[in-house]
Amino acid sequence: MSRHLLSVDSLTRESVDHLMRVAARMEPIAQRRQVTRVLEGAVLGNLFFEASTRTRVSFHAAFCRLGGSVCDTTGFTFSSMAKGESLYDTSRVMSGYCDAIVMRHPDQGSVAEFAAATHVPVINGGDGPGEHPSQALLDFYTIDKEFTRLGKQLAGAHVLLTGDLKYGRTVHSLIKLLSLYDPMRITLVAPPGLEMPDYLIDLVASRGHRVEQRTSLADDYANVDVVYTTRIQKERFTAEMSEDFSLSRNFTVDRAFMDKRCGRDTIVMHPLPRDSRPDANDLDVDLNGDPRLAIFRQTDNGIPVRMAIFATLLQVEELIEKDLRPVRWFVPERVGVDDPSL
Ligand code: NCD
């Protein structure tokens, strides 16, 4: 892995496999059975200039679970960027305070610009409609774990990506990551105007994958293994687009869709948050008790995967095993009332 994690472009199949193995070793810590202090004394700078709950908090929690501490800042209002400070200056300043930095910013390319001004490892927590590499890694970890449970192979799998494929940065990183592996079938279902960028389709096709584009979820989708649905990213729409109601047409993945178009062993993923407001047409809550819904197993996987990213970038992954101790506090068997049993 390179010094920073800015894009899936810097990953190879070998480096992804390594991260997956390290993440699996983090499971006992993420599941609160064991603790480690391997990053004791290290400080993370967690800089979020765009809305976030799970990415910000799970990076924070992952660093803490490795024994490190976290300093953070949220939004432009309380940061010196509101006073006109450049990314370069902010980067140089933060590098003097922290051992690693996670940054989310609304402009594509901004996290790379920030990283160019520091030697401290920087992780892209989402740069506008650009990329979200740590999400792709946790999505891939989830697919791999679910496939192992279901006795499925990644090679030849059918993955359906739907929703806002133009502005959804998670799907940009995920499709690049999937493309590193053996050929699979990838179906892209987006409203006209919100399709996956051509350069990504070309990249994936050039690596031997079978890519198909559709505009409706009502089509017939045989043998889908993974349905990965995304929120319509209205905050990135231009003024003209906001008035185009066809963009918010029904792309809802719900129990009826799953029962009619998919099998008993098709998993449903979503990077979250799902937009629960009326007319958002996002992933339906009627799948909440359905074991095919993997979204909370997916969010749980964010911890071991982000721990693996930190451990690898800060080069402590080989020290973890020797540093483990049992947890001493009360830990419930399941964390959520909706966690369906498998
Ligand atoms: C996504 C993001 O911020 O790109 N959320 C996340 O990090 N899990 C998806 C979204 O906002 O729709």
Q: Is 169 in the pocket of ligand 1 (CB under 6 A)?
A: yes
Q: Is 272 in the pocket of ligand 1 (CB under 6 A)?
A: yes
The residues, any chain, with a CB within 8 Å of residue 306's CB and separated by 6 or more, are 58, 59, 62, 63, 134, 138
CB 290 within 8 A of CB 257: no
Q: Which amino acid is at 171?
A: V
Mutational test site, ligand 1, from 135, 232, 269, max ligand atoms within 8 Å of CB: 135
Question: How many CA atoms lie within 13 Å of 95's alpha carbon, on the beta-carbon side?
Answer: 15
* Cα angle 175, 180, 182; round to 5: 105
Question: Is omega for the bond preceding 273 within 30 degrees of 0, making it cis?
Answer: yes
The torsion angles phi and psi of 84, rounded to 5 degrees, stand at: 95, 10
DSSP one-letter code for 197: P
CA separation for the pair 206, 118 (Å, rounded):
34
At 241, which helix (H) or strand (E)? Answer: helix 239-242
Residue 342, pLDDT > 90, answer: no
Two structure tokens written together for 5: 């994690």
CA nearest to 43, candidates 23, 14, 67: 67
State the closest ligand 1 atom to the C-alpha of 50, by its place in the atom list counted from 1: 3
At 146, which helix (H) or strand (E)? Answer: helix 133-150
Distance between first and last Cα of the chain: 34
Q: Is 135 in the pocket of ligand 1 (CB under 6 A)?
A: yes
pTM exceeding the 0.75 threshold for the entire prediction: yes
CB 19 within 8 A of CB 312: yes
Convert the pLDDT of each residue in 142-151 to its tens digit.
999 999 999 9
What is the overall mean pLDDT for the chain?
Answer: 94
User: How confident is residue 10, by pLDDT bands cut at 50, 70 and 90?
Assistant: very high
> Sign of the CA dihedral 127, 131, 137, 138?
positive
Two structure tokens written together for 57: 């908090």
Q: Is 170 in the pocket of ligand 1 (CB under 6 A)?
A: yes
User: How confident is residue 245, by pLDDT bands cut at 50, 70 and 90?
Assistant: low
Residue 244, pLDDT > 90, answer: no
Two structure tokens written together for 284: 């339906």
Convert the pLDDT of each residue in 225-238 to its tens digit.
999 999 999 899 98
User: How confident is residue 25, by pLDDT bands cut at 50, 70 and 90?
Assistant: very high
User: How confident is residue 220, by pLDDT bands cut at 50, 70 and 90?
Assistant: confident
Q: Is 65 in the pocket of ligand 1 (CB under 6 A)?
A: no
Return the residue whose CA atom lies nearest to atom 12 of ligand 1. 231
CA of 272 to the centre of ligand 1 (A): 6
CB 101 within 8 A of CB 118: yes
Q: Is 174 in the pocket of ligand 1 (CB under 6 A)?
A: no
Q: Is 306 in the pocket of ligand 1 (CB under 6 A)?
A: no
Average pLDDT of the segment spanning 128-137: 98
The residues, any chain, with a CB within 8 Å of residue 240's CB and separated by 6 or more, are none
Length of the chain: 342
CA of 282 to the centre of ligand 1 (A): 13
CA of 281 to the centre of ligand 1 (A): 16
Mutational test site, ligand 1, from 170, 269, 281, 305, max ligand atoms within 8 Å of CB: 170
Residue 55, pLDDT > 90, answer: yes
